Structure 1
Amino acid sequence: MTHVKASAAVSHVGRVRSNNQDSGFEGNHLFFVADGMGGHAGGDVASAIATHRIAEVDHAFTDPTEAAATLEGALIAANRRLAETVAEHSELTGMGTTVSAMMLTGDRVVIAHIGDSRIYLLRSGELNQVTIDHTFVQRLVDAGRITAEEAMVHPRRSVLMRVLGDVEASPEIDTMVLETRPGDRWMLCSDGLSGVVSFEEIHDFLASDQSAKPVAERLVKASLDGGAPDNVTVIVVDIGEPPAPETPGVMVGSAAAPLAFKTPEPARPRGIRLTPFRPHPVQETHFEPDSVDYFDELIEEDERRRRRRRIVWGAWIVLLVGAIVAAFVIGYQWTQTRFYVGEHNGRVAIYQGIQQNLGPISLHELHTETTIDVSELRTYDQQRVEQTISADSYSEASRIVQRLEASLD
């Protein structure tokens, strides 16, 4: 029999958002985070409604199978309540929420998960991500189409394939029953943490000797220090002895505030349905139907975008290379209209071009070698020839040579 030794829940609006659409619940047996979406109008409402409904099942279970069925049923009931709310308040159409929940039952932990919020387990110093994101890019990674590193910068990295909301009557929810041991540290979070703070940093915070509350606060602060473009919610649960005393469950985020609905907007034409989304400063996070056809369509769209990007970059490279070549040709042709008087084999000579090289390419060549010995010139003229005398044309260079020859008389 294992017990919750300590737990803590912290939620913050972040540095960019105007309202907190995250919710979290810290109970005696049940812990979960819910990340709402649907824009300013419905994200906070969705996570709050789901939190209040799911929190109703925070009580002790002796059978993990019964606990798993109850927890999954609570998420389905929350999904139904969201659909009913949208039916009564059309301005909330398209709202939804992720949920990642864990329930302690004896020496087992029951997990229920949908969306891209996450559950982590730190055991014996080793951190593992327990849940799998229900996102478009995660499917690409699972299918071997892209790497985990490519997923971090993929243009559709925030597209959700599954959420609770008013889209599906029976959404698919991942459930599992895992063993837990004294000394385990569980952490639940919204993507406001996992999207900003690296896996290695999360490990370092969770592996510290600090208790659950300061660790949760430090994790939230790490997200804020990283810019916190989204709301961030963290729940830390420590397993061990002595067991924490039973207290009323604590809600954080939007669920902690009174539920309020916006004034309905004018009715939209029938048949128009908004897609749930959770806007980010740089890109939007939104929900898309979980279907094979749509998934294949997104993959093909991504391939088309990649091909277009290659074509555009190829065209720019060709234009850039062409411009460089054209500039070189024009520049070289200009240098060949120039002349200068210098020395060659100890004699005065006329060169075509300029006295520079472009890497291995010489920009000048010997045009005419005279019979005038440089050593026979006056000291001043010798220095001028050795340093070269520029001319705008061959005729001007010839006149310079004639003056040098006349100075010998």
Structure 2
Amino acid sequence: MRFSVYQESHIGGRKVNQDRMGYSFTRDAILLLLADGMGGHIMGEMAAAIAMQTIGSLFQQQAQPMIGRPERFMEDSFLLAHQEIHRYRQMNGLPETPRTTIVACLIQNGQAYWAHCGDSRLYWMRNGQILLRTKDHSRIETLIAQGKVDPAERHTHPDRNKLFNCLGAPNAPIVELSRRATLQPGDVIMLCSDGLWAVLPDHMLAQRLHDHTIVRAVPELIRSATDIAGKQSDNVTALAMMWEGDDNIDDTSIISTNTLPIGSVTTTIQAPMTPEAETAAAAEADIFDDAEIEKAIAEIRSAIHKSSRITTTKS
């Protein structure tokens, strides 16, 4: 496999960054993940972290070096993440369960499969055009589909933050799976939180990612979104991958996995916090410390080895 990948997140105008992102790859498979903890409920950042760790750990166990049943993997990993979030609530005696949206993309054999719960989006782009994007599991999208609300009201309607699907809700999530998509060299897959897509129009996202490399386009898009939203900016996060195929052989920014041994995994999902991030986290009194997060991760790993239709307000 040959591909380029870049990820970035900005806290925006919020006190806590509840977005999480990351990717893992073996010789023959790539997993892209993005979660947006729901600020309308307690500890959204913990729900997002648990979801990322659970799904990422399953990928590392099952990608040897590919996932045998991609659609089944997506559904099973989402449901397990949902269960682990509920288990965290029970073990810590929380008054309610933390919640998060989630979007994931698995790529192997030149084919992409994706799944999502909530309004974190995936865009599939080619030559500056959006071939497909995920449909938000939100009240406003339902009203638009029913013809009861004009699409122009998508960003201003009072129900725009109400979701009917996420991880951590009382009922099991509805895991929406994509059809299998065949990638071509130059195709871009981007995962992003609503802090990005709710501010910038789709055509701008597609154009920037067509005109520039993902390493340049993603930071520019995040900066544009935070500048436009100002002090009211949500957390803004994006993870983009450009599928290169056999082209651009001399491009040093491209990752080539052909020489990786079977069984090896490269990942950013479990990367330790940077000193700068640790300093920022220490300044936030309401963020979990590293010890608590590591404890939750250890519990998830242990459980893995031993082994909704409710509308909710996001922010």
Query: Is the TM-score greater than 0.5?
Result: yes
Query: 1:104 and 2:107 equivalent?
Result: yes
- Aligned-pair distance for 1:276? 5.7
TM-score after normalising by structure 1: 0.59
**Equivalent in the alignment of 1:249:** 267
List per-residue Cα deviations over 1:98-156 (Å, max 9, x = no partner).
Answer: 11110002121011111001011111221244210000010011112222112332111
| TM-score normalised per structure 2 | 0.75
Q: Which runs of 4+ in 1 moved over 6 A?
A: 252-257
8 Å contact 2:67–2:73 — kept in the other structure?
A: no
Aligned residues: 259
Distance between the aligned counterparts of 2:170 and 2:19, measured in 1?
A: 20
Find the residue that maps to 1:207 and give its secondary structure.
helix
Whether the aligned pair in 1 keeps the contact of 2:7 and 2:238 (CA below 8 Å) is yes
Match of 1:216 in 2: 218
Letter in structure 2 aligned against 1:173: V
User: Which has the bigger relative contact order, CA under 8 A and spacing at least 6?
Assistant: 2
Provide the C-alpha distance between the structure 1 equivalents of 2:4 and 2:96, rounded to a whole number of angstroms: 39
Matches within 5 A, 1:61-100: 61=66, 63=68, 66-91=69-94, 93-100=96-103
My pick for the range that moved more, 237-246 or 99-108, is 237-246
Over the matched positions of the two proteins, sequence identity in percent amounts to 26
Given the alignment, which residue of 11, 15, 19 partners 1:18?
A: 15
Q: For residue 14 of structure 2, what is the amino acid of its counterpart?
A: R
Cα RMSD, aligned residues only: 2.5
Residue identity matched to 2:158: P
Q: Which runs of 5+ in 1 are unaligned?
A: 262-274, 280-409
Larger Rg: 1
User: Is the contact made by 1:185 and 1:238 (CA closer than 8 Å) also made in structure 2?
Assistant: yes
Q: Deviations over 1:66-108 (max 9, x none)?
A: 0111122111100000010111123361311111110002121
The amino acid of 2:161's aligned partner reads S
Matches within 5 A, 1:181-192: 181-192=184-195
User: Of 179, 196, 200, which aligns to 1:197?
Assistant: 200
The one-letter code of the counterpart of 1:7 is: V
1:21–1:37: 8 Å Cα contact kept in structure 2?
yes
Alignment of 1:4-403 (within 5 A): 4-14=2-12, 16-28=13-25, 29-39=30-40, 41-56=42-57, 57-58=59-60, 59=63, 60-61=65-66, 63=68, 66-91=69-94, 93-168=96-171, 170-176=172-178, 177-208=180-211, 210-227=212-229, 229-240=233-244, 241=246, 242=249, 244-246=255-257, 248-251=266-269, 258=290, 260=292, 277-279=313-315
Per-residue deviation, residues 21-80 of structure 1 (Å, max 9, x unmatched) = 0000122200011000155841110100100111121534265xx011112211110000
Q: 1:7 to 1:128 in 2, by over 3 A?
A: same
1:362 matched residue in structure 2: none
Residue by residue over 1:352-374, the C-alpha shift from the partner in whole angstroms, topping out at 9 and shown as x without a partner, is xxxxxxxxxxxxxxxxxxxxxxx
SS in 2 for 1:233: strand
Alignment CA distance shift 1:276-1:146 (3 Å): closer
Deviates more, 1:173-182 or 1:143-152: 143-152
Gaps of 5+ in 2: 258-264, 279-289, 294-310
Tell me if structure 1 keeps the 8 A contact 2:163–2:312: no
Residues 254 and 183 of structure 1: CA distance in aligned 2, closer, same or farther (over 3 Å): same
